[in-house]
Amino acid sequence: MTLIQKLFTLFLLFILVSGSFAGPSAEKYKIGDVVSDFTIENFDGNSYSLSKSNAKATVIVFISTECPFVQPYTERLINLTNEFTPKGIVIWGINSNSTEPTDEVINHANEKKYNFPVLKDNNNVVADIFSAERTPEVFVIDNASMKLIYHGRIDDNKDASEVTSNDLQNALNEFLNGTEITNKENKAFGCSIKR
Protein backbone atom coordinates (compact mmCIF):
# COMPACT_ATOMS: atom_id res chain seq x y z
CA MET A 1 0.00 0.00 0.00
CA THR A 2 1.45 3.33 -1.02
CA LEU A 3 1.74 6.30 1.32
CA ILE A 4 -1.07 8.09 -0.54
CA GLN A 5 -3.36 5.05 -0.19
CA LYS A 6 -2.58 4.86 3.55
CA LEU A 7 -3.30 8.56 4.01
CA PHE A 8 -6.54 8.25 2.05
CA THR A 9 -7.62 5.27 4.18
CA LEU A 10 -6.85 7.18 7.39
CA PHE A 11 -8.79 10.18 6.07
CA LEU A 12 -11.84 7.99 5.36
CA LEU A 13 -11.64 6.45 8.84
CA PHE A 14 -11.46 9.92 10.40
CA ILE A 15 -14.54 11.05 8.46
CA LEU A 16 -16.52 7.97 9.51
CA VAL A 17 -15.57 8.21 13.18
CA SER A 18 -16.04 11.97 13.52
CA GLY A 19 -19.37 11.83 11.69
CA SER A 20 -20.77 9.43 14.27
CA PHE A 21 -20.25 12.04 17.02
CA ALA A 22 -21.25 15.17 15.15
CA GLY A 23 -24.35 17.24 15.69
CA PRO A 24 -27.79 16.44 17.01
CA SER A 25 -29.60 13.22 16.41
CA ALA A 26 -31.90 13.32 13.40
CA GLU A 27 -34.39 11.36 15.52
CA LYS A 28 -36.75 13.77 17.26
CA TYR A 29 -38.69 12.92 20.37
CA LYS A 30 -42.26 11.93 19.66
CA ILE A 31 -45.16 12.80 21.93
CA GLY A 32 -45.18 10.29 24.78
CA ASP A 33 -41.43 9.60 24.65
CA VAL A 34 -39.44 9.75 27.88
CA VAL A 35 -36.93 12.57 27.48
CA SER A 36 -33.33 12.65 28.67
CA ASP A 37 -32.56 14.59 31.80
CA PHE A 38 -30.13 17.50 31.62
CA THR A 39 -28.49 19.98 33.96
CA ILE A 40 -27.38 23.52 33.13
CA GLU A 41 -25.02 25.31 35.49
CA ASN A 42 -26.31 28.74 34.61
CA PHE A 43 -24.74 32.20 34.58
CA ASP A 44 -27.11 33.24 37.42
CA GLY A 45 -25.28 30.86 39.78
CA ASN A 46 -28.14 28.34 39.85
CA SER A 47 -28.24 24.77 38.63
CA TYR A 48 -31.26 23.76 36.52
CA SER A 49 -32.09 20.06 36.14
CA LEU A 50 -35.16 18.87 34.32
CA SER A 51 -35.73 16.05 36.81
CA LYS A 52 -35.41 18.45 39.76
CA SER A 53 -37.60 21.32 38.59
CA ASN A 54 -40.15 20.51 41.35
CA ALA A 55 -42.97 21.24 38.95
CA LYS A 56 -45.95 19.40 37.53
CA ALA A 57 -44.61 20.23 34.09
CA THR A 58 -41.63 22.09 32.64
CA VAL A 59 -42.04 24.27 29.57
CA ILE A 60 -38.84 24.68 27.58
CA VAL A 61 -38.92 27.57 25.11
CA PHE A 62 -35.90 27.96 22.87
CA ILE A 63 -35.38 31.72 22.50
CA SER A 64 -33.01 34.19 20.91
CA THR A 65 -31.81 37.71 21.60
CA GLU A 66 -32.07 38.67 17.95
CA CYS A 67 -34.68 36.58 16.16
CA PRO A 68 -37.57 38.80 14.99
CA PHE A 69 -39.98 35.91 15.60
CA VAL A 70 -39.03 35.72 19.31
CA GLN A 71 -39.20 39.41 20.24
CA PRO A 72 -42.99 39.81 19.77
CA TYR A 73 -43.55 36.98 22.28
CA THR A 74 -42.02 38.79 25.26
CA GLU A 75 -45.30 39.92 26.79
CA ARG A 76 -47.05 36.62 26.03
CA LEU A 77 -44.29 34.59 27.70
CA ILE A 78 -44.40 36.86 30.75
CA ASN A 79 -48.20 36.47 30.91
CA LEU A 80 -47.97 32.69 30.56
CA THR A 81 -45.44 32.59 33.40
CA ASN A 82 -47.74 34.70 35.60
CA GLU A 83 -50.68 32.43 34.78
CA PHE A 84 -49.07 29.03 35.18
CA THR A 85 -46.33 29.37 37.80
CA PRO A 86 -48.88 29.48 40.66
CA LYS A 87 -50.42 26.31 39.19
CA GLY A 88 -47.15 24.36 39.44
CA ILE A 89 -45.76 24.76 35.93
CA VAL A 90 -42.33 26.28 35.29
CA ILE A 91 -41.17 27.98 32.13
CA TRP A 92 -37.51 28.07 31.13
CA GLY A 93 -36.21 30.12 28.24
CA ILE A 94 -33.17 28.43 26.73
CA ASN A 95 -30.74 30.23 24.45
CA SER A 96 -28.71 27.76 22.39
CA ASN A 97 -27.42 30.12 19.71
CA SER A 98 -23.63 29.93 19.41
CA THR A 99 -23.71 33.44 17.90
CA GLU A 100 -25.23 34.99 21.04
CA PRO A 101 -22.70 35.18 23.90
CA THR A 102 -23.69 34.94 27.56
CA ASP A 103 -23.33 38.69 28.21
CA GLU A 104 -25.77 39.38 25.38
CA VAL A 105 -28.22 36.81 26.78
CA ILE A 106 -28.03 38.38 30.26
CA ASN A 107 -28.55 41.90 28.91
CA HIS A 108 -31.45 40.79 26.74
CA ALA A 109 -33.20 39.00 29.63
CA ASN A 110 -32.82 42.09 31.82
CA GLU A 111 -33.98 44.43 29.08
CA LYS A 112 -37.08 42.31 28.39
CA LYS A 113 -37.74 41.91 32.15
CA TYR A 114 -38.34 38.19 31.74
CA ASN A 115 -39.96 36.72 34.86
CA PHE A 116 -38.74 33.20 34.09
CA PRO A 117 -35.20 31.82 34.12
CA VAL A 118 -33.21 32.28 30.93
CA LEU A 119 -30.56 29.58 30.56
CA LYS A 120 -27.51 29.64 28.31
CA ASP A 121 -27.12 26.30 26.55
CA ASN A 122 -23.40 26.30 25.80
CA ASN A 123 -22.39 23.99 22.95
CA ASN A 124 -26.07 23.38 22.10
CA VAL A 125 -26.27 20.42 24.47
CA VAL A 126 -29.97 20.81 25.32
CA ALA A 127 -30.92 21.85 21.78
CA ASP A 128 -29.26 18.67 20.53
CA ILE A 129 -31.04 16.50 23.13
CA PHE A 130 -34.39 17.76 21.85
CA SER A 131 -33.29 18.15 18.21
CA ALA A 132 -34.64 21.69 18.50
CA GLU A 133 -34.43 23.64 15.27
CA ARG A 134 -36.12 27.02 15.78
CA THR A 135 -36.65 29.99 18.02
CA PRO A 136 -39.24 30.06 19.41
CA GLU A 137 -39.84 26.31 19.70
CA VAL A 138 -41.59 24.77 22.70
CA PHE A 139 -41.29 21.41 24.45
CA VAL A 140 -43.50 20.56 27.47
CA ILE A 141 -42.46 17.73 29.76
CA ASP A 142 -44.70 16.06 32.34
CA ASN A 143 -42.28 15.93 35.26
CA ALA A 144 -43.98 12.96 36.94
CA SER A 145 -43.32 10.70 33.96
CA MET A 146 -40.57 12.72 32.19
CA LYS A 147 -42.61 12.31 29.01
CA LEU A 148 -42.99 14.83 26.22
CA ILE A 149 -46.63 15.97 26.17
CA TYR A 150 -46.51 18.98 23.82
CA HIS A 151 -44.18 20.18 21.07
CA GLY A 152 -44.42 23.08 18.67
CA ARG A 153 -45.38 26.73 18.71
CA ILE A 154 -46.59 29.13 21.39
CA ASP A 155 -49.53 30.18 19.25
CA ASP A 156 -50.34 30.63 15.58
CA ASN A 157 -49.18 34.20 14.89
CA LYS A 158 -46.25 36.37 15.97
CA ASP A 159 -48.67 39.33 15.82
CA ALA A 160 -50.63 39.04 19.08
CA SER A 161 -53.67 40.81 17.59
CA GLU A 162 -54.01 38.10 14.93
CA VAL A 163 -53.72 34.99 17.12
CA THR A 164 -56.57 32.53 16.58
CA SER A 165 -55.14 29.50 18.41
CA ASN A 166 -53.37 29.71 21.81
CA ASP A 167 -51.78 26.28 21.42
CA LEU A 168 -49.39 26.27 24.39
CA GLN A 169 -51.87 27.86 26.79
CA ASN A 170 -54.58 25.39 25.74
CA ALA A 171 -52.23 22.41 26.14
CA LEU A 172 -51.20 23.51 29.65
CA ASN A 173 -54.81 24.04 30.74
CA GLU A 174 -55.83 20.62 29.42
CA PHE A 175 -52.85 19.01 31.18
CA LEU A 176 -53.76 20.66 34.48
CA ASN A 177 -57.40 19.63 34.06
CA GLY A 178 -56.32 16.02 33.53
CA THR A 179 -57.90 15.87 30.09
CA GLU A 180 -56.35 14.71 26.83
CA ILE A 181 -54.34 17.44 25.13
CA THR A 182 -56.26 18.18 21.95
CA ASN A 183 -53.40 19.60 19.90
CA LYS A 184 -50.21 17.88 21.07
CA GLU A 185 -47.93 18.88 18.22
CA ASN A 186 -47.67 21.51 15.54
CA LYS A 187 -44.97 23.10 13.45
CA ALA A 188 -42.88 25.80 15.12
CA PHE A 189 -42.04 28.84 13.02
CA GLY A 190 -39.14 31.22 13.52
CA CYS A 191 -35.37 31.50 13.11
CA SER A 192 -33.00 28.56 12.95
CA ILE A 193 -30.89 27.78 16.02
CA LYS A 194 -27.27 28.68 15.23
CA ARG A 195 -25.01 25.76 16.13
pLDDT, tens digit (0-9, with 9 covering 90-100), for 71-127: 999 999 999 999 999 999 999 999 999 999 999 999 999 999 999 999 999 999 999
Output DSSP code: residue 126. Answer: H
What domain range is 155 assigned to? 29-192
Output DSSP code: residue 136. Answer: S
Evaluate whether residue 41 is within a structural domain: yes
How many whole angstroms separate alpha carbon 192 and alpha carbon 81? 24
Evaluate whether residue 6 is within a structural domain: no
**What is the pTM (predicted TM-score) of this model?**
0.85
Q: Could you tell me the CATH number of the domain that includes residue 177?
A: 3.40.30.10
Beta bridge partners of 93: 61, 118
Looking at the structure of the chain, the number of domains it has is 1
Evaluate whether residue 24 is within a structural domain: no
How many whole angstroms separate alpha carbon 16 and alpha carbon 1? 21
Evaluate whether residue 40 is within a structural domain: yes
Evaluate whether residue 90 is within a structural domain: yes
User: pLDDT-based confidence at 1, cuts 50/70/90?
Assistant: low
Evaluate whether residue 131 is within a structural domain: yes
Evaluate whether residue 17 is within a structural domain: no
